[in-house]
Structure 1
Amino acid sequence: MAGGRPRSFDSDVALDQALEVFWRQGYEGTAISDLTKAMGINNAPSLYNAFGNKEELFRKILDRYAEGPARYISEAFAESTARAVVHALLHGAADATTRPDGPRGCITVQGALACSPDAEAARDELTLRRAAGEAALCERLRQAGKSGELPAGSDPEGLARYFTTIYQGLAVQAAGGATREQLHSVVDAAMTVWPQEPDD
């Protein structure tokens, strides 16, 4: 049988290669030929047969990103206190967006911020995922308010928006060349706004 995928094709390795291409080049900056070359697939029809079209492949690699380079997010949400969740989330982002062995920044933040109408589905997918992340953090902070982890009068929604903005800003700064140490310093400064019980 001519063409198609090589007999030794490893779909996990291929998805990792596709992830790196999308991460470096963004959704719209990535051509099908870039993907077939990086993934070790002979032609576009073989790519479509294995993973669906470009949009479907992009969704698959976003899931893979969440399970791999961004697994620190789910690990952070397993922390026992809301403050520890935010601390782990932001410091994890500082590390993940400055990995020496991969692209800088965050594919979920930078993957399709600006795009043509043809790429709107990818942009909308990323927007939904970012919104889901903020909603999850907001819910955790609401729980913290109900349990007394946050002082009375705290604003869980405002805190979630603030820390999400810091989180996304870390990715932008990393892509622009900020060092890991600089980003950790930003996180330390951001954590100083954590609500404290008023002094008597």
Structure 2
Amino acid sequence: MAERGRPRGFDADAALDRAVEVFWRQGYEGASLSDLTDAMGINRTSMYAAYGNKEQLFRRAVARYAAADMAYAREALTRPTGYAVIAAFLHANVDAITRADRPAGCLSVQGGLADGGDNGRVAEFLAASRRTGEQALADRLSRAVAEGDLPAGTDPVALARYVMVVSEGNAVHAAAGAGRAALHATVDIALRAVPGHAAVDTDT
């Protein structure tokens, strides 16, 4: 017998994917409970039972987004050089934020642009999520400096922050309608500021 309030054949992961898209398009504050439940194909009772309240649902949606839509970021960290890590991340980011089958921009940026009545918890959660990604990049770039791959004296923390500023800025522009080619061109310019780019240009 199906649980009361939950449709027969309820797929929690598929419904969560639909919630991701609603939050991505509308932001946390802009996504109403009706928007979410309509898109997920469930009622509020089922939503609360499966995911918790709206904030808890959003946190799960962000985790789902990070695992699936941002897998490219983890892949970039495996590249053999610091420059290759940064180039792979920024170019893959452009592809991700301009996919025809997904909302433009980035959920972690778009989701918290409006401050709701949650005392800033959602905005801080998203900021903390971005800091985690930035720290992972800084750690990888620190290794590149230690290995002599990036020039001695390179500040891996500042470089990681620079990369994230570029990616987050591109996400804002993508959401405003900037095209993929234009954003890749921006990345090409940004990469010229990365230590070690001249050696790569010479090799190619």
Contact 1:20 1:102 in 2 (8 A): yes
Report the Cα distance in structure 1 between the residues aligned to 2:47 and 2:129, rounded to whole angstroms: 25
Q: Which residue is 1:158 aligned to?
A: 158
TM-score between the two structures when normalised by the length of structure 1: 0.93
Deviation at 1:79, TM superposition (A): 1.6
Q: Which amino acid is 1:21 matched to?
A: V
Unaligned 5+ segments in structure 1 are: none
TM-score, scaled relative to structure 2: 0.91
2:190 corresponds in structure 1 to 190
Aligned residue in 1 for 2:202: none
Superposition deviation, residue 175 in structure 1: 0.5
CA shift, 1:120, in A, is 1.8
Tell me by how many angstroms 1:3 deviates.
Answer: 5.0
User: Would you say the 8 A contact 2:154–2:195 is kept in 1?
Assistant: yes
Q: Is 1:59–2:59 an aligned residue pair?
A: yes
User: What is the deviation of 1:196?
Assistant: 3.5
Superposition pairs of residues 28-177 of structure 1, within 5 angstroms: 28-41=29-42, 43-118=43-118, 120-177=120-177
State the secondary structure of the residue aligned to 1:118: coil
Aligned residues: 198
Runs of 4+ with >6 A deviation: none
Query: 1:59-117: per-residue Cα shift (whole Å, max 9, x none)?
Result: 11111101212111111112222211111110011001001011000010121133134
What does residue 16 of structure 1 align with?
A: 17
Give the superposition deviation at 1:45: 1.8
Distance in 2 separating the partners of 1:96 and 1:6: 32
CA contact (8 A) 1:151 1:197 kept: no
CA distance, structure 2, for counterparts of residue 124 and residue 109 of structure 1: 12
The code of the aligned residue for 1:14 comes to A
Does structure 2 retain, via aligned residues, the 8 Å contact 1:150–1:195?
A: yes
Provide closer, same or farther for how the CA distance between residues 48 and 198 of structure 1 changes in structure 2, counting only shifts above 3 A: closer
Cα distance between partner residues in 1 of 2:75 and 2:49: 34
The verdict on how the C-alpha distance between 1:129 and 1:33 changes in structure 2, with shifts beyond 3 A counting, is: same
The Cα offsets for residues 44-64 of structure 1, whole Å up to 9 and x where unpaired, read as 122100111111111111111
The farther-off stretch of 72-81 and 125-134 is: 72-81
User: Any stretches of 5+ residues in structure 2 without a counterpart?
Assistant: 200-204
**For 2:56, what is the secondary structure of its paired residue?**
helix
CA contact (8 A) 1:94 1:184 kept: yes
CA drift at 1:172: 0.5
Separation of aligned partners in 1, 2:32 and 2:55? 12
Q: Deviations over 1:155-184 (max 9, x none)?
A: 222211111100111101100111000011
| Distance (Å, rounded) in 1 between the aligned partners of 2:94 and 2:85 | 14
- The CA RMSD over aligned residues, in Å, is 1.9
**Offset at 1:139?**
1.3
Q: Decide whether the 8 Å contact of 1:134 with 1:164 is kept in 2.
A: yes
1:145–1:151 CA contact under 8 A, matched in 2: yes
Rate the CA distance shift 1:112–1:197 in 2: closer, same or farther, 3 A.
Answer: closer
